[in-house]
Structures are given as structure tokens and as C-alpha cells.
Amino acid sequence: MQKQLPITTYGMDILRKVTKPVKEIDGEIFELVNNMLYTLRNADGIGLAAPQVNKNVSVAVIDISPVEEYKNYDPVILINPVVLENHGEVVLNEGCLSIPEVRGDVLRPEKILLKYFDMNMKEHTGEFEGLPARVMQHEIDHLNGKLFIDYLNEDDIKRNKDLLKKIRKGKIETDYPLYDPKENILN
């Protein structure tokens, strides 16, 4: 049975922490990954990192199949991912389930060489480009306490200032459930 997990939002400490590496795929990690995939699908997102569901571990899930061009692309589960190399630069518009409604152009490497582990703790090294590479970099940033708005220029920040303030104060509504610190104990 899969559970929809509430999403943590901009301003919460968990989103600024560097995550702990996964040592083994135990029942807890297995359940977390399954719930994250379910949560991602139900929130109409394309990538989700564990801090966004209030877990301080190096786990991210990516499912870009809602994007027409990538509809046959299988979900990817990244355990302890590390970017080994990057090449080129490209600007793409980004958003984030933890920073609802805020959008902005972000310059990032175009191609990456990525090392990660799968659900059997088998190590993989792979080259990625295009949208997969972009989403992976966004999610890996989450695992290092970084957010896409950290890259925005002053104009973009100014344009989104009121919205960011609203999110920090918890005064934002979304189609998916948000994490309420008053109802949950941080771990």
C-alpha cells in the first residue's frame, strides 16, 4: 500500500540540510521510495527528493513520463547520487513542489556523468542529458540542502519576493498535501 506524503516547503530547516547516505535498503527505505513515487505522481511532479517528505536521507525519485516527449521513460530511483563530471551549459525554466508557483530560469550543466546506487545497492555510472539530467541535478541539489531559487538573479527574486514570503509563512495552497510542522515531529 502506497501513501501520499505531505511535502515540506521553503523556509523549513530540513530543506537546507545535507542528507545522510543510505547504508542499506531496509524496509524503511523501501517503503519511503514507494511512497515517494506515489507522492510524486499524485502531486503532478517530475522529481522528488527525500528532504521534501521530511526525511534526511540521500534518496531521490524521478519520473518524467508526464512530459509528452518522455512518456516512455521509466522512473529512476537514485540512492546516494553523486555528479562525477559535467559538460556544457543550458538555461531551463524550473519549479519545485516545495516552492509552489515560483518559476525561474536556471543555468546548469547540459550533460552529467552520474554515479548512484539502485534499490539492490548495485552501483551504476551513467551519462544523462536533456530533461533527465536537469531533473537529476535539481534533486541532487535537494540532497545537499540547495534549492533552485539559490540560482535566480535579482530580478527573479524580486519578482517572486511576496510569493516566497507567503510560502515561508505557510500561507500557500496547493493541490497536494503540504507538511505541517505543528502536526508532525521533525526527524
Which residues contact Zn ion (rule: CB under 5 A)?
96
Give Cα separations from 27 to 31, 34, 118, 124 (angstroms).
Answer: 6, 11, 15, 22
* R_g over Cα of the chain: 16
CA nearest to 178, candidates 27, 46, 6, 3: 6
CB of 52 to Zn ion, least distance (A): 6
Give Cα separations from 116 to 32, 77, 87, 123 (angstroms).
Answer: 17, 9, 18, 6
Active site residue 139: yes
CB of 12 to Zn ion, least distance (A): 13
The answer to whether the beta carbons of residues 109 and 88 sit under 8 Å apart is yes
Closer Cβ to Zn ion, 25 or 114, answer by number: 114
Closer Cβ to Zn ion, 25 or 134, answer by number: 134
CB of 141 to Zn ion, least distance (A): 8
The answer to whether the beta carbons of residues 125 and 114 sit under 8 Å apart is yes
Closer Cβ to Zn ion, 9 or 35, answer by number: 9
CB of 135 to Zn ion, least distance (A): 9
Given 129, 139, 154, 183, which residue is catalytic?
A: 139
User: What 3-state class would DSSP assign to 40?
Assistant: helix
Closer Cβ to Zn ion, 22 or 139, answer by number: 139
The set of cell numbers assigned to 175 is 493541490
Cα–Cα distance for residue pair 119/113, rounded to 1 Å: 19
- Active site residues per annotation: 139
